[in-house]
């Protein structure tokens, strides 16, 4: 189910919707469009209005609606909406239109503001989501045991889902554990050095023992040149530091080791560092792509 469809359906139901950092859309209270209507309704001129607001906050009602329709937990639903807003702004900034079927089109004018052109055809029909499967998986995991399965097909679907989740979590744990082990092996036994690549504007977490002396070991010198890691896997990119810092804080609170890198004034990256061999980089990238549901890539800088 597409985020655009959920945004339009929420607007039809609630008469107003706000997109983060973009603005608010309002539909006339006289316009009534039945939900899941296969027939397109004709919208008169002025039926939908738009208010530009580059500082608009996330619409909590919209987040709840996405959770209900997709059966996703709140952080994932909010992340989907945040990613949609960021991607839409990137298209608008390079002169491409933001098209929402059943709502209209946004364009960026010469003054840097967004201009709205209303659509004249509604789009209230939602694509069917795979909700029954997710509901059954959640219910069986929470309340039933293997002996309570009613059919072999249902049991097979649950088993495959659990195995898939286990493989993703296990792969992430393996790489993070292997990273910690590699760091410990490169440090002298008689010294206590605590270094971390996490970049945090609030707290300086990098501590070094002043008694540590230069080490001639080549592996230790390589680790220092690369700031303690062999490669990084980029999991997210943001156009503003505020958005990147917000995502950085959220992910570190979940216990992830994150590096926030400034590429330029319009590009900020969130990466996870690894000290394992470069041959493990593709496996790490694929595992993190599945875990974070993002387009990851390797950054060896």
Distance between CA 120 and CA 101 in Å, rounded? 10
CATH class as words, domain 3-118: few secondary structures
Per DSSP, the three-state class of 84 is: helix
Stated length of the chain: 301
Confidence grade of residue 224 (pLDDT, cut at 50, 70, 90):
very low
Residue 19 CA, distance from chain mean position: 16
pLDDT digits (tens, 9 = 90+) for 26-40: 988 887 776 655 667
Phi-psi region of 25 (alpha: psi -120 to 50; beta: other; left: phi over 0): beta
Give the other-Cβ count within 10 Å of 27's Cβ. 23
Confidence grade of residue 218 (pLDDT, cut at 50, 70, 90):
very low
Confidence grade of residue 164 (pLDDT, cut at 50, 70, 90):
confident
Residue with more model confidence, 117 or 195: 117
Distance between CA 242 and CA 250 in Å, rounded? 12
For residue 238, CA distances in Å to 60, 114, 202, 254, 291 come to 21, 20, 20, 19, 19
Share of the chain above pLDDT 70, in %: 70
Asked if residue 141 has pLDDT above 50, the reply is no
Residue 80 CA, distance from chain mean position: 6
Q: Show Cβ contacts of residue 286 under 8 Å, excluding neighbours closer than 6 positions.
A: 296
Return mean pLDDT, the chain. 75
Which single residue is written with the structure tokens 């470069």? 278
CB of 297 closer than 8 Å to CB of 261: no
Mean pLDDT of 186-195: 40
The CATH classification number of 152-299 equals 3.30.70.1070
The pLDDT value recorded for residue 4 is 84
Confidence grade of residue 222 (pLDDT, cut at 50, 70, 90):
very low
Share of the chain above pLDDT 90, in %: 20
Asked if residue 194 has pLDDT above 70, the reply is no
Nearest to 35 by CA among 59, 11, 16, 18: 11
pTM over 0.75: no
**Residues 205-215 as b or e (16 or more Cβ within 10 Å = b):** eeeeeeeeeee
Every domain of the chain and the residues it spans: 3-118, 152-299
Query: DSSP letter at 203?
Result: -
The pLDDT value recorded for residue 238 is 93
The pLDDT value recorded for residue 38 is 61
Highest mean pLDDT among 56-60, 94-98, 132-136: 56-60
- For the record, the structure tokens of 125 come out as 């029909």
- β-bridge pairing 98-100 and 231-238: unpaired
Residue with more model confidence, 171 or 66: 66
pLDDT digits (tens, 9 = 90+) for 69-84: 999 999 998 999 999 9
Mean pLDDT of 247-270: 88
H or E stretch at 115: strand 114-118
The torsion angles phi and psi of 270, rounded to 5 degrees, stand at -110, 125
Mean pLDDT of 156-175: 84
The pLDDT value recorded for residue 42 is 77
CB of 232 closer than 8 Å to CB of 298: yes
The pLDDT value recorded for residue 45 is 85
Mean pLDDT of 223-230: 59
Confidence grade of residue 177 (pLDDT, cut at 50, 70, 90):
confident
């Amino acid at each position: 189910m597409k985020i655009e469809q959920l945004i339009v359906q929420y607007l039809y139901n609630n008469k107003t919707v706000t997109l983060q950092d973009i603005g608010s859309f309002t539909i006339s209270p006289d316009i009534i469009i039945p939900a899941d209507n296969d027939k397109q309704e004709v919208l008169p001129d002025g039926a939908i209005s738009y208010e530009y607001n580059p500082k608009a906050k996330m619409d909590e009602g919209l987040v709840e609606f996405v959770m209900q329709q997709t059966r996703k937990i709140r952080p994932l639903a909010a992340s989907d909406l945040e990613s949609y807003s960021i991607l839409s702004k990137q298209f608008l900034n390079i002169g491409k239109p933001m098209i929402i079927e059943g709502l209209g089109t946004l364009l960026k004018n010469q003054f840097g503001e967004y201009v709205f052109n209303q659509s004249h055809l509604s789009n209230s029909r939602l694509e069917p989501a795979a909700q029954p499967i997710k509901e059954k998986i959640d219910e069986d995991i929470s309340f039933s045991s293997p002996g309570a399965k009613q059919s072999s097909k249902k049991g097979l679907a649950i088993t495959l889902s659990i195995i898939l989740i286990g493989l993703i979590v296990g792969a992430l744990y393996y790489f993070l554990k292997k990273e910690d082990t590699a760091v410990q092996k490169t440090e002298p036994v008689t010294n206590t050095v605590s270094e971390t690549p996490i970049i945090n504007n609030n707290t300086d977490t990098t501590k070094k023992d002043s008694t540590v002396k230069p080490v001639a070991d080549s592996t230790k010198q390589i680790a220092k040149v690369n700031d303690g890691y062999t490669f990084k896997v980029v999991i997210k990119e943001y156009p503003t530091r505020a958005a990147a810092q917000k995502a950085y804080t959220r992910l570190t609170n979940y216990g992830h080791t994150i590096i926030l890198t400034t590429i330029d004034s319009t590009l900020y990256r969130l990466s996870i560092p690894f000290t394992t061999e470069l041959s493990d980089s593709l496996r790490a990238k694929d595992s993190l792509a599945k875990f974070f549901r993002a387009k990851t890539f390797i950054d060896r800088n």
